[in-house]
Amino acid sequence: MVNPWLLSWGCYFGFITCRTPPGVWTSKPTAISTTSTSSAFASSTAVLGTAAPGPTSVVHSFGTTTTTTTTATTSSSLSFDSLSSTASVPSAFVTSLDSDSTLVVSVSPSSVSTSTPSTPSTMSLSLSTSVVPSVVPSAAPISAGSIAADILVIARDTASAKVASSGLNAIGIPFTTLVVPQSGTSLPALNGTSGGNFGGIVVAGEVSYNYGNASGYQSALTTDQWNQLYAYQLAYGVRMVQYDVYPGPNFGASAVGSGCCATGVEQLLSFSDVSDFPTAGLRTGAGISTTGLWHYPASISNSSTTKEIARFAANSVTASDTTAAVINNFAGREQMAFFLSFDTSWSATSTLLQHAWISWLTRGLYAGYRRVNLNTQIDDMFLETDIYKPNGTTFRITPNDLQGIADWLVEINGKMNAGSNYFVEVGHNGNGNIENSSSTDEGYSACNGGGIEYNSPADTALEFKKPLGTGTNLWPDSPTTYNWTAACTQLDPLLLWWTNASNLDRFGHISHTFTHEEQDNATYSDVNKEISFNQAWLKQVGISAAKYFTSNGIIPPAITGLHNGDALQAWWDNGIRNCVGDNTRPVLLNQQNDMWPYFTNVASDGFDGMQVNPRFATRIYYNCDTPDCTVQEWIDTSAGSGDFDTLLATEKGEVMRHLFGLHHDPYMFHQANLRNADTTPITINGVSGQYSIMQAWVETQVQEFVRLVDWPLITINHQTMSDSFLARYTRDACNYSLRHTISNNQITGVTLSANSNTCSTPVPVTFPVAPTSTQGFTTEQIGSDPLTVWVQLSGSPVSFTLSTPIAL
Ligand SMILES: [Zn+2]
């Protein structure tokens, strides 16, 4: 038995390697070691094949402790050994598909009979040498073969696994999750008859737990398991990423100070060297916040093995710049480490940083693609809006306002990265045009006595589900079909601006229904008219002929009607197949994968199969046309605090998280938000402009985005966006995967396959260097982006040869 004090004593005198330098008593975390599950476990593993033990390591093995099939099927150049005690193998090695693209491997902790929590009291004396895991286990690299490009994600629990994998999921890179509870678990088979099973390994927080006062924080992976991973890396040239780690010999670095930062203390992080992951498109020297992300400023302790890629700026805690992240090369074993915690569920910094490790881990070669869409939808065009502040006022946008937006589109596109194409998409309500045109005596008669008018009942509960066939018609009995003339519609100056073809094609266009009647409790008859009248109006005035017109989708009025089977049936009968939802309402989101749309179903919504695409709300409220108004509403309704700059900074943090998280969901705005012609200039980043509050929002996002990455910002119209969500959903169901071909210690090509090697929609494969042939498939390469080939699988795997092999 090793007494805990013996570990500290060994650390203090430098007899063993610890996170604390010799002469310093260990404190949390106490040791770099992992605890072994049992001495029997360690002694029963053996080094076989081409793997040899590292100089200070315990023995390690490529064999896994999990499956006997590993040994049964092995015939590769590496030989395997399973545990002598197969009875100790967890019987329930659960392999399940969490999503259609994601293989999830997990083990029920209760089934791990030999992996009971290690406590210091069970640590045998023989492990006193093995508390130093070998960072340089040796294994001869394979010279030829293949490796699955699947990424192994190792994390403590499903929540941290989701953080670790969210970027992979966003890009569409297949991954497998290994959840390691405090009691430990078995590794999945790292290789098999066809070669390596994983193209990269990510470990979050060393899967460490607090094992009590005596032993403190230690990894729930055993020393032996770490060495299996390391040896696998060496054999197959596979990289490892670790984040949320403490600087130490395992990372070629030492801690500077005792960590940072207390609440309210900022320490900026920036990339200092991105040359090892050029396809990430990240800019160096651009400081980003670490607020809320605990981290350990570090210094490089071994410059022959370790290089800095990111640094922390000096602050009140550390007087000079320190190292934030490194790349190690330990005798050929490559590792990237961040001395910083990650949480992509709230941190924009995390969603940005993940692109560094994903690009590096995959070497920029993966199934999937990285795209940022910036879609801004402007609802309520042609309607008049009651303004929140000053209360009692109304606003309807003018042609001058729209001209200001159109002119600005040129300006804002010029501020974006190469390849960008941004435009604004507008949701139209035709009855607002008829109402405006009929506001004069002449117009009243030209417009058949005016537009459609009715008394609106009180709102229903937010998620009200209407029994089919119920409700009361609000619309008058006549007209039954759209019957206004051009002589009527053209009395509205706003329509004249929009029907100028050069204006029309600079924007996207979609129906927001004719009168904006709320549809939660609406009848089939009313909704049928809301859709069909607006379609007729859009056609009559020429908007449906616009370049970026959406014909098969709508923006539902106030996002109502989504649990009204009669309304959804009326949409469907008029050719509507999709709409946007509201991301503040969980029932309208796909709960399995946030990259997928939601599909309505009879049980919840009274109708099967309407596609609901996610959409973000912003703090630019629908009933505001000035900064003062939207700040006041933010304070009054959403616990906001501060001024318009504070509001925009808050939005910036959230939107950067969404953009770098590759969420293609549009952002919601309204017509009053575009008021700019007669407003007080707004200053954004020191530049004053005749901006509407919506423009101020976009300016803020664009400025931050281009500061951090060189990626293009691409707008797609609603219909293309909807198709894109559906395509993502469809191809994930194909369960595609990529394999690297290895020859002469280089990746020379890739092979894409899928279930039955067939997929009804193309699968993207992204290349850091061009393949020798793209085989006639659609390709995509915009601005500084890497090349993506959209591969159509039709019965056989598709292979590509790289024009320049990638050295392992
Ligand atoms: Zn609306």
Q: What is the pLDDT of residues 612-647, one digit of tens each?
A: 999 999 999 999 999 999 999 999 999 999 999 999
Strands, sheet with 787-791, edge to edge from the N-terminal-most edge strand: 366-367, 763-767, 787-791, 778-780
CA of 53 to the centre of ligand 1 (A): 67
Q: What is the pLDDT of residues 282-310, one digit of tens each?
A: 999 999 999 999 999 999 999 999 999 99
CA of 379 to the centre of ligand 1 (A): 5
Interacting residues of 30 by C-beta distance below 8 A, sequence separation 6+: 7, 8, 18, 19, 215, 216, 217, 218
Query: Rounded distance, CA 29 to CA 676, Å?
Result: 56
Burial class (CB in 10 A: 0-12, 13-18, 19+), 645: middle
CA of 79 to the centre of ligand 1 (A): 65
- The whole-number pLDDT of residue 698 equals 98
CA of 381 to the centre of ligand 1 (A): 8
Query: Rounded distance, CA 446 to CA 444, Å?
Result: 6
Maximum alpha-carbon separation in the chain: 99
Q: Report the pLDDT averaged over residues 53-63.
A: 29
Q: What is the pLDDT of residues 515-551, one digit of tens each?
A: 999 999 999 999 999 999 999 999 999 999 999 999 9
CA dihedral 299, 305, 308, 314 (to 10 degrees): 10
- The whole-number pLDDT of residue 111 equals 30
85 neighbors 58 (Cβ within 8 angstroms)? no
Q: Where do the structural domains in the chain lie, given as residue ranges?
A: 376-718, 734-807
Higher pLDDT, 763 or 71: 763
Task: Output the six-digit token pair for 558.
Answer: 């106030």
Task: Output the six-digit token pair for 33.
Answer: 């070691």
Partners of residue 145 on adjacent β-strands = 742
Count of beta carbons in the 10 Å neighbourhood of residue 294: 13
- The whole-number pLDDT of residue 323 equals 98
CA of 516 to the centre of ligand 1 (A): 6
Query: Rounded distance, CA 53 to CA 51, Å?
Result: 7
Q: What is the pLDDT of residues 168-179, one digit of tens each?
A: 999 999 999 999
The yes-or-no verdict on residue 141 having pLDDT over 90 is no
User: Average model confidence (pLDDT) for the chain?
Assistant: 86
Q: Report the pLDDT averaged over residues 55-66.
A: 30
Query: Rounded distance, CA 102 to CA 595, Å?
Result: 13
**What global pTM score does this model have?**
0.85
CA of 666 to the centre of ligand 1 (A): 15
Strands 376-381, 385-386: parallel, antiparallel or unpaired by DSSP? Answer: unpaired
The domain 376-718: what is its CATH number?
Answer: 3.20.20
Task: Output the six-digit token pair for 699.
Answer: 């300016």
Higher pLDDT, 13 or 599: 599
- The whole-number pLDDT of residue 109 equals 29
CA of 560 to the centre of ligand 1 (A): 10
- The whole-number pLDDT of residue 50 equals 28
- The whole-number pLDDT of residue 113 equals 30
User: For residue 261, is the peptide bond before it cis, meaning its omega torsion is within 30 degrees of 0?
Assistant: yes
- The whole-number pLDDT of residue 3 equals 45
- The whole-number pLDDT of residue 139 equals 78
Percent above pLDDT 70 for the chain: 83
CA of 477 to the centre of ligand 1 (A): 24
The residue type of 630 is T
CA of 661 to the centre of ligand 1 (A): 27
Q: What is the pLDDT of residues 546-573, one digit of tens each?
A: 999 999 999 999 999 999 999 999 999 9
Query: Rounded distance, CA 769 to CA 765, Å?
Result: 12
The residue type of 338 is F
Stated as kind and residue range, the H or E segment containing 427 is strand 424-428
CA of 510 to the centre of ligand 1 (A): 12
- The whole-number pLDDT of residue 425 equals 98
Q: What is the pLDDT of residues 229-267, one digit of tens each?
A: 999 999 999 999 999 999 999 999 999 999 999 999 999
- The whole-number pLDDT of residue 685 equals 85
Q: What is the pLDDT of residues 398-450, one digit of tens each?
A: 999 999 999 999 999 999 999 999 999 999 999 999 999 999 999 999 999 99
Compute the half-sphere exposure of residue 671: CA atoms within 13 Å on the CB side of its CA.
22
CA of 588 to the centre of ligand 1 (A): 17
Number of continuous H segments (helices) and E segments (strands) in the chain: 19, 38
Higher pLDDT, 687 or 570: 570
Task: Output the six-digit token pair for 12.
Answer: 């203090």
CA of 622 to the centre of ligand 1 (A): 8
At 74, the pLDDT band (50, 70, 90 cuts) reads very low
CA of 459 to the centre of ligand 1 (A): 14
Q: What is the pLDDT of residues 75-97, one digit of tens each?
A: 222 222 222 222 222 222 223 32
The yes-or-no verdict on residue 32 having pLDDT over 70 is no
CA of 380 to the centre of ligand 1 (A): 5
Among residues 519, 152, 162, which one has the least CA distance to residue 346?
A: 162
CA of 120 to the centre of ligand 1 (A): 63
Stated as kind and residue range, the H or E segment containing 749 is strand 746-753
Interacting residues of 319 by C-beta distance below 8 A, sequence separation 6+: none
Q: Report the pLDDT averaged over residues 331-347.
A: 97
CA of 450 to the centre of ligand 1 (A): 21
CA of 647 to the centre of ligand 1 (A): 22
CA of 756 to the centre of ligand 1 (A): 45
Among residues 232, 225, 151, which one has the least CA distance to residue 187?
A: 225
- The whole-number pLDDT of residue 256 equals 97
At 101, the pLDDT band (50, 70, 90 cuts) reads very low
Task: Output the six-digit token pair for 662.
Answer: 């590759």
- The whole-number pLDDT of residue 381 equals 98
Strands 376-381, 333-338: parallel, antiparallel or unpaired by DSSP? Answer: unpaired
CA of 807 to the centre of ligand 1 (A): 55
- The whole-number pLDDT of residue 142 equals 86
Query: Rounded distance, CA 447 to CA 536, Å?
Result: 15
CA of 19 to the centre of ligand 1 (A): 58
How many residues in the chain?
A: 808
Strands (E), 439-539: 507-511
CA of 385 to the centre of ligand 1 (A): 10
> Which overall architecture, per CATH, does domain 734-807 show?
Sandwich (2.60)
11 neighbors 25 (Cβ within 8 angstroms)? yes
